[in-house]
Protein backbone atom coordinates (compact mmCIF):
# COMPACT_ATOMS: atom_id res chain seq x y z
CA UNK A 1 0.00 0.00 0.00
CA UNK A 2 1.38 3.41 -0.93
CA UNK A 3 2.25 6.08 1.57
CA UNK A 4 -0.45 8.69 2.09
CA UNK A 5 0.17 12.22 0.80
CA UNK A 6 0.64 15.22 3.07
CA UNK A 7 -3.06 16.10 2.94
CA UNK A 8 -3.74 12.50 4.09
CA UNK A 9 -5.85 11.58 1.04
CA UNK A 10 -6.74 7.89 1.33
CA UNK A 11 -6.64 7.42 -2.44
CA UNK A 12 -3.40 7.29 -4.51
CA UNK A 13 -2.89 10.25 -6.83
CA UNK A 14 -2.52 8.81 -10.33
CA UNK A 15 -4.01 9.78 -13.65
CA UNK A 16 -6.79 7.21 -13.41
CA UNK A 17 -8.17 8.57 -10.16
CA UNK A 18 -7.52 12.33 -10.39
CA UNK A 19 -11.06 13.03 -11.58
CA UNK A 20 -12.65 10.86 -8.92
CA UNK A 21 -10.29 11.86 -6.12
CA UNK A 22 -12.35 14.76 -4.67
CA UNK A 23 -15.45 12.56 -4.63
CA UNK A 24 -13.63 9.64 -3.02
CA UNK A 25 -12.07 11.91 -0.39
CA UNK A 26 -15.46 13.42 0.45
CA UNK A 27 -17.00 9.96 0.70
CA UNK A 28 -14.13 8.77 2.91
CA UNK A 29 -14.38 11.61 5.37
CA UNK A 30 -18.19 11.70 5.53
CA UNK A 31 -18.87 8.00 5.98
CA UNK A 32 -20.62 7.30 9.27
CA UNK A 33 -18.74 4.02 9.48
CA UNK A 34 -15.14 4.27 10.57
CA UNK A 35 -12.58 3.40 7.87
CA UNK A 36 -8.89 2.58 8.37
CA UNK A 37 -6.30 1.59 5.75
CA UNK A 38 -3.39 -0.57 6.93
CA UNK A 39 -0.47 -1.81 4.79
CA UNK A 40 1.20 -5.22 4.95
CA UNK A 41 3.60 -3.90 7.59
CA UNK A 42 0.68 -3.15 9.92
CA UNK A 43 1.20 0.59 9.46
CA UNK A 44 -1.85 2.87 9.47
CA UNK A 45 -2.20 4.76 6.18
CA UNK A 46 -5.62 6.35 6.62
CA UNK A 47 -7.81 7.06 9.65
CA UNK A 48 -11.25 8.54 8.99
CA UNK A 49 -13.14 11.18 10.93
CA UNK A 50 -15.59 8.56 12.26
CA UNK A 51 -12.68 6.60 13.78
CA UNK A 52 -11.46 9.77 15.44
CA UNK A 53 -14.87 10.19 17.05
CA UNK A 54 -15.09 6.56 18.19
CA UNK A 55 -11.56 6.22 19.59
CA UNK A 56 -10.77 9.78 20.62
CA UNK A 57 -7.45 9.56 18.72
CA UNK A 58 -6.78 12.16 16.03
CA UNK A 59 -5.79 11.29 12.50
CA UNK A 60 -2.40 12.95 12.94
CA UNK A 61 -1.61 10.79 15.97
CA UNK A 62 -2.69 7.56 14.25
CA UNK A 63 -1.09 7.85 10.80
CA UNK A 64 2.11 5.80 10.63
CA UNK A 65 1.39 3.97 13.89
CA UNK A 66 1.41 0.18 14.04
CA UNK A 67 -2.12 -1.12 14.24
CA UNK A 68 -2.78 -2.78 17.58
CA UNK A 69 -5.91 -3.38 19.66
CA UNK A 70 -4.62 -0.75 22.08
CA UNK A 71 -4.48 1.86 19.29
CA UNK A 72 -8.13 1.16 18.56
CA UNK A 73 -8.95 1.03 22.30
CA UNK A 74 -10.57 -2.39 21.74
CA UNK A 75 -12.06 -4.20 24.75
CA UNK A 76 -13.90 -7.48 25.06
CA UNK A 77 -17.65 -6.99 24.71
CA UNK A 78 -18.60 -9.23 27.66
CA UNK A 79 -15.75 -8.89 30.14
CA UNK A 80 -14.74 -5.32 29.29
CA UNK A 81 -11.06 -6.32 29.42
CA UNK A 82 -8.57 -4.95 26.82
CA UNK A 83 -8.13 -7.20 23.77
CA UNK A 84 -4.72 -8.87 23.76
CA UNK A 85 -2.33 -8.41 20.82
CA UNK A 86 -2.59 -12.06 19.80
CA UNK A 87 -6.35 -11.65 19.49
CA UNK A 88 -6.11 -8.67 17.13
CA UNK A 89 -8.59 -9.23 14.24
CA UNK A 90 -6.51 -7.05 11.86
CA UNK A 91 -3.40 -9.16 12.40
CA UNK A 92 -5.46 -12.31 11.84
CA UNK A 93 -6.76 -10.84 8.57
CA UNK A 94 -3.28 -9.92 7.25
CA UNK A 95 -1.84 -13.29 8.22
CA UNK A 96 -4.63 -15.43 6.77
CA UNK A 97 -5.71 -13.26 3.85
CA UNK A 98 -9.33 -13.78 4.99
CA UNK A 99 -12.01 -11.49 6.34
CA UNK A 100 -12.14 -11.29 10.13
CA UNK A 101 -15.04 -9.78 12.05
CA UNK A 102 -16.13 -9.41 15.64
CA UNK A 103 -18.06 -7.34 18.18
CA UNK A 104 -16.03 -5.20 20.56
CA UNK A 105 -16.32 -2.34 22.96
CA UNK A 106 -14.22 0.76 22.29
CA UNK A 107 -13.28 2.65 25.45
CA UNK A 108 -11.47 5.86 24.48
CA UNK A 109 -8.94 7.79 26.58
CA UNK A 110 -11.72 10.10 27.78
CA UNK A 111 -13.74 7.14 29.01
CA UNK A 112 -16.32 7.35 26.21
CA UNK A 113 -17.65 3.89 25.35
CA UNK A 114 -19.10 2.54 22.13
CA UNK A 115 -20.17 -0.95 21.10
CA UNK A 116 -18.87 -1.65 17.62
CA UNK A 117 -18.68 -4.31 14.97
CA UNK A 118 -15.18 -4.40 13.43
CA UNK A 119 -14.52 -6.06 10.08
CA UNK A 120 -11.00 -6.41 8.63
CA UNK A 121 -11.00 -7.06 4.85
CA UNK A 122 -7.76 -8.12 3.10
CA UNK A 123 -6.55 -6.18 0.04
CA UNK A 124 -5.11 -8.72 -2.43
CA UNK A 125 -3.45 -8.09 -5.82
CA UNK A 126 -3.66 -10.17 -8.99
CA UNK A 127 -0.75 -12.33 -7.80
CA UNK A 128 -2.73 -13.24 -4.69
CA UNK A 129 -0.39 -11.24 -2.45
CA UNK A 130 -1.86 -9.50 0.58
CA UNK A 131 -1.06 -5.79 0.25
CA UNK A 132 -2.84 -4.67 3.40
CA UNK A 133 -6.28 -4.40 4.93
CA UNK A 134 -9.32 -2.15 4.97
CA UNK A 135 -10.90 -1.94 8.41
CA UNK A 136 -14.56 -1.02 8.71
CA UNK A 137 -15.92 -0.06 12.15
CA UNK A 138 -19.69 0.16 12.61
CA UNK A 139 -20.99 1.87 15.74
CA UNK A 140 -23.79 -0.40 16.96
CA UNK A 141 -24.39 1.47 20.23
CA UNK A 142 -27.57 3.14 19.02
CA UNK A 143 -28.94 -0.14 17.67
CA UNK A 144 -28.04 -1.98 20.87
CA UNK A 145 -29.56 0.78 22.98
CA UNK A 146 -32.75 0.54 20.95
CA UNK A 147 -32.78 -3.25 21.31
CA UNK A 148 -32.21 -2.86 25.05
CA UNK A 149 -35.04 -0.33 25.30
CA UNK A 150 -37.37 -2.63 23.36
CA UNK A 151 -36.38 -5.52 25.61
CA UNK A 152 -37.00 -3.42 28.72
CA UNK A 153 -40.35 -2.28 27.34
CA UNK A 154 -41.33 -5.87 26.59
CA UNK A 155 -40.36 -6.96 30.09
CA UNK A 156 -42.34 -4.15 31.66
CA UNK A 157 -45.42 -5.14 29.65
CA UNK A 158 -45.31 -8.89 30.40
CA UNK A 159 -43.45 -9.30 33.70
CA UNK A 160 -44.49 -8.75 37.28
CA UNK A 161 -42.07 -6.04 38.49
CA UNK A 162 -41.48 -7.66 41.89
CA UNK A 163 -41.04 -11.36 41.13
CA UNK A 164 -39.98 -11.11 37.47
CA UNK A 165 -42.37 -13.87 36.40
CA UNK A 166 -45.19 -13.24 33.93
CA UNK A 167 -47.96 -10.87 34.96
CA UNK A 168 -51.71 -11.42 34.76
CA UNK A 169 -52.04 -9.81 31.33
CA UNK A 170 -49.43 -12.13 29.86
CA UNK A 171 -51.17 -15.14 31.43
CA UNK A 172 -54.45 -14.17 29.80
CA UNK A 173 -52.76 -13.82 26.42
CA UNK A 174 -50.88 -17.12 26.62
CA UNK A 175 -53.88 -18.94 28.09
CA UNK A 176 -56.10 -17.94 25.18
CA UNK A 177 -53.33 -18.81 22.74
CA UNK A 178 -52.85 -22.23 24.38
CA UNK A 179 -56.55 -23.06 24.18
CA UNK A 180 -56.68 -21.95 20.54
CA UNK A 181 -53.68 -24.16 19.67
CA UNK A 182 -55.23 -27.12 21.48
CA UNK A 183 -58.50 -26.67 19.59
CA UNK A 184 -56.73 -26.50 16.24
CA UNK A 185 -54.69 -29.62 17.00
CA UNK A 186 -57.64 -31.37 18.69
CA UNK A 187 -55.19 -32.16 21.51
CA UNK A 188 -56.20 -30.97 24.97
CA UNK A 189 -53.08 -32.13 26.78
CA UNK A 190 -52.60 -28.92 28.79
CA UNK A 191 -53.00 -28.31 32.52
CA UNK A 192 -53.06 -25.41 34.91
CA UNK A 193 -51.78 -25.19 38.49
CA UNK A 194 -52.95 -22.37 40.77
CA UNK A 195 -51.10 -22.00 44.06
CA UNK A 196 -51.45 -19.69 47.03
CA UNK A 197 -49.01 -19.17 49.92
CA UNK A 198 -50.65 -20.32 53.15
CA UNK A 199 -51.23 -17.68 55.84
CA UNK A 200 -49.28 -15.07 53.91
CA UNK A 201 -50.93 -12.26 55.85
CA UNK A 202 -49.17 -13.49 59.00
CA UNK A 203 -45.80 -12.99 57.28
CA UNK A 204 -46.59 -9.32 56.69
CA UNK A 205 -47.99 -8.98 60.20
CA UNK A 206 -45.14 -10.75 62.04
CA UNK A 207 -42.27 -9.41 59.94
CA UNK A 208 -43.10 -6.55 57.57
CA UNK A 209 -44.23 -5.97 54.02
CA UNK A 210 -40.65 -5.78 52.72
CA UNK A 211 -39.95 -9.25 54.13
CA UNK A 212 -43.25 -10.36 52.63
CA UNK A 213 -42.04 -9.15 49.22
CA UNK A 214 -38.81 -11.12 49.64
CA UNK A 215 -40.85 -14.21 50.49
CA UNK A 216 -42.88 -13.72 47.30
CA UNK A 217 -39.68 -13.49 45.27
CA UNK A 218 -38.34 -16.68 46.90
CA UNK A 219 -41.64 -18.44 46.20
CA UNK A 220 -41.57 -17.40 42.53
CA UNK A 221 -37.98 -18.60 42.20
CA UNK A 222 -38.96 -21.93 43.70
CA UNK A 223 -41.76 -22.32 41.17
CA UNK A 224 -39.39 -21.59 38.29
CA UNK A 225 -37.17 -24.49 39.36
CA UNK A 226 -39.93 -26.97 38.62
CA UNK A 227 -41.09 -25.80 35.19
CA UNK A 228 -39.96 -26.45 31.64
CA UNK A 229 -39.11 -23.88 29.01
CA UNK A 230 -42.56 -24.23 27.40
CA UNK A 231 -44.38 -23.62 30.69
CA UNK A 232 -45.46 -20.21 31.99
CA UNK A 233 -45.16 -19.05 35.60
CA UNK A 234 -47.33 -16.06 36.44
CA UNK A 235 -48.08 -13.94 39.48
CA UNK A 236 -51.85 -13.61 39.26
CA UNK A 237 -52.18 -11.25 42.19
CA UNK A 238 -51.08 -10.92 45.79
CA UNK A 239 -49.64 -14.24 46.95
CA UNK A 240 -51.40 -16.26 44.24
CA UNK A 241 -49.41 -17.72 41.35
CA UNK A 242 -50.33 -19.73 38.26
CA UNK A 243 -48.36 -22.30 36.28
CA UNK A 244 -49.66 -22.99 32.78
CA UNK A 245 -48.28 -26.36 31.70
CA UNK A 246 -48.22 -27.07 27.98
CA UNK A 247 -48.22 -30.70 26.82
CA UNK A 248 -48.93 -31.89 30.34
CA UNK A 249 -51.81 -34.10 31.50
CA UNK A 250 -53.45 -33.68 34.88
CA UNK A 251 -51.54 -36.60 36.46
CA UNK A 252 -48.20 -35.04 35.53
CA UNK A 253 -49.39 -31.63 36.74
CA UNK A 254 -50.45 -33.12 40.09
CA UNK A 255 -47.06 -34.75 40.45
CA UNK A 256 -45.31 -31.48 39.67
CA UNK A 257 -47.47 -29.59 42.17
CA UNK A 258 -46.64 -32.19 44.82
CA UNK A 259 -42.94 -31.81 44.10
CA UNK A 260 -43.22 -28.05 44.60
CA UNK A 261 -45.29 -28.46 47.76
CA UNK A 262 -42.81 -30.88 49.34
CA UNK A 263 -39.88 -28.68 48.39
CA UNK A 264 -41.47 -25.60 49.95
CA UNK A 265 -42.16 -27.18 53.32
CA UNK A 266 -38.49 -28.15 53.78
CA UNK A 267 -36.83 -25.06 52.27
CA UNK A 268 -35.71 -22.63 54.97
CA UNK A 269 -35.98 -18.97 53.99
CA UNK A 270 -33.33 -16.63 55.47
CA UNK A 271 -35.66 -13.61 55.35
CA UNK A 272 -38.09 -15.55 57.59
CA UNK A 273 -35.36 -16.41 60.10
CA UNK A 274 -34.98 -19.91 58.70
CA UNK A 275 -38.68 -20.74 58.70
CA UNK A 276 -40.38 -22.48 55.78
CA UNK A 277 -43.55 -21.54 53.96
CA UNK A 278 -46.27 -23.85 52.67
CA UNK A 279 -48.73 -23.43 49.83
CA UNK A 280 -52.03 -24.86 48.62
CA UNK A 281 -52.51 -26.02 45.03
CA UNK A 282 -55.45 -26.43 42.65
CA UNK A 283 -54.91 -28.46 39.47
CA UNK A 284 -57.01 -29.28 36.43
CA UNK A 285 -56.64 -30.28 32.78
CA UNK A 286 -58.13 -28.53 29.76
CA UNK A 287 -61.36 -29.98 28.37
CA UNK A 288 -62.67 -29.64 24.78
CA UNK A 289 -65.64 -27.54 25.94
CA UNK A 290 -63.56 -25.17 28.08
CA UNK A 291 -63.32 -21.45 27.63
CA UNK A 292 -60.37 -19.72 29.26
CA UNK A 293 -62.64 -18.78 32.16
CA UNK A 294 -63.92 -22.36 32.60
CA UNK A 295 -60.38 -23.71 32.61
CA UNK A 296 -59.13 -21.18 35.14
CA UNK A 297 -62.14 -21.19 37.45
CA UNK A 298 -62.07 -24.98 37.72
CA UNK A 299 -58.47 -24.89 38.94
CA UNK A 300 -59.31 -21.98 41.24
CA UNK A 301 -62.19 -24.02 42.66
CA UNK A 302 -59.72 -26.81 43.41
CA UNK A 303 -57.44 -24.31 45.16
CA UNK A 304 -60.30 -23.14 47.36
CA UNK A 305 -61.02 -26.76 48.30
CA UNK A 306 -57.35 -27.27 49.17
CA UNK A 307 -57.47 -24.27 51.50
CA UNK A 308 -60.81 -25.29 52.97
CA UNK A 309 -59.60 -28.82 53.79
CA UNK A 310 -56.49 -27.79 55.69
CA UNK A 311 -54.02 -26.07 53.30
CA UNK A 312 -50.54 -27.35 52.32
CA UNK A 313 -52.06 -29.83 49.91
CA UNK A 314 -52.82 -30.45 46.23
CA UNK A 315 -56.41 -30.82 45.04
CA UNK A 316 -57.37 -31.69 41.47
CA UNK A 317 -60.80 -31.11 39.91
CA UNK A 318 -61.76 -33.08 36.85
CA UNK A 319 -65.20 -31.57 36.17
CA UNK A 320 -66.29 -27.96 35.85
CA UNK A 321 -68.40 -26.30 38.51
CA UNK A 322 -71.36 -26.16 36.12
CA UNK A 323 -71.50 -29.96 35.90
CA UNK A 324 -72.06 -30.20 39.64
CA UNK A 325 -74.99 -27.75 39.52
CA UNK A 326 -77.21 -29.33 36.89
CA UNK A 327 -79.68 -31.12 39.12
CA UNK A 328 -82.28 -28.31 39.40
CA UNK A 329 -84.53 -28.20 36.34
CA UNK A 330 -87.95 -26.73 35.66
CA UNK A 331 -90.16 -24.71 37.99
CA UNK A 332 -90.06 -21.03 38.85
CA UNK A 333 -87.71 -18.94 40.94
CA UNK A 334 -89.97 -19.19 43.95
CA UNK A 335 -89.81 -22.96 43.61
CA UNK A 336 -86.08 -23.11 44.38
CA UNK A 337 -85.42 -24.61 47.78
CA UNK A 338 -82.45 -22.67 49.10
CA UNK A 339 -80.39 -24.33 51.82
CA UNK A 340 -79.69 -21.34 54.05
CA UNK A 341 -82.22 -19.44 56.14
CA UNK A 342 -82.24 -15.65 55.83
CA UNK A 343 -84.02 -14.72 59.03
CA UNK A 344 -81.10 -12.93 60.71
CA UNK A 345 -79.92 -11.27 57.53
CA UNK A 346 -79.82 -7.56 56.91
CA UNK A 347 -80.39 -8.18 53.21
CA UNK A 348 -81.43 -11.29 51.29
CA UNK A 349 -81.81 -10.95 47.53
CA UNK A 350 -82.13 -13.38 44.66
CA UNK A 351 -80.93 -12.80 41.10
CA UNK A 352 -81.36 -14.59 37.80
CA UNK A 353 -78.99 -14.14 34.88
CA UNK A 354 -77.80 -15.86 31.71
CA UNK A 355 -74.20 -15.46 32.90
CA UNK A 356 -72.71 -18.95 33.57
CA UNK A 357 -72.05 -19.79 37.19
CA UNK A 358 -68.34 -20.29 36.39
CA UNK A 359 -68.14 -16.62 35.35
CA UNK A 360 -70.11 -15.50 38.41
CA UNK A 361 -67.67 -17.38 40.63
CA UNK A 362 -64.73 -15.75 38.88
CA UNK A 363 -66.26 -12.32 39.41
CA UNK A 364 -66.87 -13.14 43.06
CA UNK A 365 -63.24 -14.09 43.33
CA UNK A 366 -62.30 -10.62 42.04
CA UNK A 367 -64.47 -9.07 44.75
CA UNK A 368 -62.74 -11.20 47.42
CA UNK A 369 -59.29 -10.08 46.23
CA UNK A 370 -60.24 -6.41 45.95
CA UNK A 371 -61.84 -6.16 49.40
CA UNK A 372 -59.40 -8.53 51.14
CA UNK A 373 -62.34 -10.68 52.23
CA UNK A 374 -61.82 -13.78 54.37
CA UNK A 375 -63.14 -17.02 52.91
CA UNK A 376 -65.09 -18.91 55.55
CA UNK A 377 -66.57 -21.83 53.62
CA UNK A 378 -66.71 -23.00 50.01
CA UNK A 379 -68.75 -25.76 48.39
CA UNK A 380 -69.80 -26.45 44.84
CA UNK A 381 -73.03 -24.45 45.27
CA UNK A 382 -72.27 -22.31 48.32
CA UNK A 383 -69.70 -19.79 49.51
CA UNK A 384 -69.37 -17.80 52.71
CA UNK A 385 -67.03 -14.86 53.27
CA UNK A 386 -66.38 -12.14 55.81
CA UNK A 387 -65.60 -8.64 54.68
CA UNK A 388 -65.14 -5.23 56.31
CA UNK A 389 -66.54 -2.19 54.54
CA UNK A 390 -65.88 1.48 55.18
CA UNK A 391 -68.08 4.39 54.23
CA UNK A 392 -66.03 6.16 51.55
CA UNK A 393 -67.44 9.52 52.64
CA UNK A 394 -66.88 8.94 56.35
CA UNK A 395 -64.09 6.47 57.21
CA UNK A 396 -65.17 6.39 60.86
CA UNK A 397 -68.25 4.47 59.75
CA UNK A 398 -67.53 0.86 59.01
CA UNK A 399 -69.00 -2.57 59.56
CA UNK A 400 -67.95 -6.21 59.31
CA UNK A 401 -70.28 -8.50 57.42
CA UNK A 402 -70.82 -12.20 56.79
CA UNK A 403 -71.94 -12.68 53.19
CA UNK A 404 -73.30 -16.00 51.92
CA UNK A 405 -73.86 -16.95 48.31
CA UNK A 406 -75.94 -19.84 47.01
CA UNK A 407 -75.90 -20.86 43.34
CA UNK A 408 -77.96 -23.12 41.13
CA UNK A 409 -78.84 -23.54 37.46
CA UNK A 410 -82.16 -24.29 35.84
CA UNK A 411 -83.31 -24.92 32.31
CA UNK A 412 -86.17 -22.63 31.37
CA UNK A 413 -88.35 -22.51 28.29
CA UNK A 414 -87.97 -19.63 25.86
CA UNK A 415 -90.23 -19.00 22.87
CA UNK A 416 -87.31 -17.84 20.73
CA UNK A 417 -84.50 -20.10 21.94
CA UNK A 418 -86.33 -23.14 23.29
CA UNK A 419 -84.79 -24.51 26.48
CA UNK A 420 -81.95 -22.43 27.83
CA UNK A 421 -79.88 -22.59 30.99
CA UNK A 422 -80.20 -19.79 33.54
CA UNK A 423 -78.07 -19.10 36.62
CA UNK A 424 -79.67 -18.26 39.96
CA UNK A 425 -77.84 -16.68 42.84
CA UNK A 426 -79.00 -15.83 46.34
CA UNK A 427 -77.04 -13.22 48.34
CA UNK A 428 -77.45 -12.98 52.13
CA UNK A 429 -75.72 -10.22 54.08
CA UNK A 430 -75.48 -10.47 57.86
CA UNK A 431 -73.63 -8.63 60.56
CA UNK A 432 -70.45 -10.59 61.34
CA UNK A 433 -70.44 -9.64 65.03
CA UNK A 434 -72.37 -7.26 67.18
CA UNK A 435 -70.64 -4.19 68.60
CA UNK A 436 -70.69 -0.43 68.79
CA UNK A 437 -70.91 -0.19 65.00
CA UNK A 438 -74.09 -2.28 64.64
CA UNK A 439 -76.00 0.74 63.32
CA UNK A 440 -73.28 1.25 60.72
CA UNK A 441 -73.76 -2.33 59.49
CA UNK A 442 -77.44 -1.70 58.85
CA UNK A 443 -76.68 1.49 56.95
CA UNK A 444 -73.74 0.11 54.99
CA UNK A 445 -75.33 -3.22 53.96
CA UNK A 446 -76.98 -1.73 50.81
CA UNK A 447 -73.61 -0.27 49.79
CA UNK A 448 -72.00 -3.69 50.19
CA UNK A 449 -74.73 -5.29 48.07
CA UNK A 450 -74.15 -2.67 45.36
CA UNK A 451 -70.42 -3.52 45.30
CA UNK A 452 -71.21 -7.24 45.03
CA UNK A 453 -73.64 -6.62 42.18
CA UNK A 454 -71.06 -4.50 40.38
CA UNK A 455 -68.37 -7.19 40.58
CA UNK A 456 -70.71 -10.04 39.66
CA UNK A 457 -72.38 -8.13 36.79
CA UNK A 458 -75.84 -8.44 38.36
CA UNK A 459 -78.02 -5.69 36.93
CA UNK A 460 -81.11 -4.26 38.54
CA UNK A 461 -83.22 -6.13 35.99
CA UNK A 462 -81.78 -9.46 37.20
CA UNK A 463 -83.01 -8.79 40.76
CA UNK A 464 -86.12 -10.98 40.92
CA UNK A 465 -86.93 -11.17 44.63
CA UNK A 466 -85.99 -9.00 47.57
CA UNK A 467 -86.70 -11.07 50.65
CA UNK A 468 -85.33 -8.67 53.24
CA UNK A 469 -83.72 -5.25 53.15
CA UNK A 470 -81.78 -3.69 56.02
CA UNK A 471 -83.44 -5.91 58.56
CA UNK A 472 -87.05 -5.28 57.45
CA UNK A 473 -89.06 -7.82 55.42
CA UNK A 474 -90.35 -6.51 52.11
CA UNK A 475 -92.74 -7.76 49.49
CA UNK A 476 -91.41 -9.67 46.50
CA UNK A 477 -91.25 -7.68 43.31
Which positions are catalytic? 239
Answer yes or no: are the C-beta atoms of 412 and 394 closer than 8 Å. no
Q: With CA atoms as reference, report the closest residue to 403 among 463, 331, 346, 469.
A: 346
Secondary structure E strands in 175-250: 191-197, 232-237, 240-245
Q: Which of 318, 328, 353 is nearest to 426 (CA)?
A: 353
Task: Give the closest residue to 77 by CA, choosing from 33, 114, 120, 121.
Answer: 114
Strands across the sheet with 130-139, in order?
A: 44-47, 34-39, 130-139, 113-124, 100-107, 74-76
Beta strands per DSSP E along 33-129: 34-39, 44-47, 74-76, 100-107, 113-124
420 and 414 in contact (C-beta within 8 Å)?
Answer: yes
C-alpha angle 242-247-251 in degrees, rounded to nearest 5: 75
Q: What are phi and psi of 420, to 5 degrees?
A: -140, 155
Q: Are 71 and 95 in contact (CB under 8 A)?
A: no
Whole-angstrom distance, CA of residue 244 vs CA of residue 280: 16
Return the half-sphere exposure (C-beta side, CA atoms, 13 A cut-off) of residue 395: 0
Q: Which of 191, 171, 222, 218 is nearest to 290 (CA)?
A: 191
Amino acid sequence: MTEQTNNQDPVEHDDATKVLLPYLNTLFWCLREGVIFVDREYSVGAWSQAVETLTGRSTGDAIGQTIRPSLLCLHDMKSGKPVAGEDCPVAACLQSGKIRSGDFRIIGPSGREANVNLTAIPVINDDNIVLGSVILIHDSSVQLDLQRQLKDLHEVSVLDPLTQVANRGELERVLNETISNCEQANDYNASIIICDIDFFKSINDNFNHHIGDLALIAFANQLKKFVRSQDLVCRFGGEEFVILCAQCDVESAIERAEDIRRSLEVTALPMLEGKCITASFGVTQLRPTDSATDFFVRADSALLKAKETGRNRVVAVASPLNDEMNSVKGGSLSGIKWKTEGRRSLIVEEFVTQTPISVLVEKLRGFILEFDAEIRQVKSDFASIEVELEDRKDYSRRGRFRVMFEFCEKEVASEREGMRKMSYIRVMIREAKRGWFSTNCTELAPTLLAEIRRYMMLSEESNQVRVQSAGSPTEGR
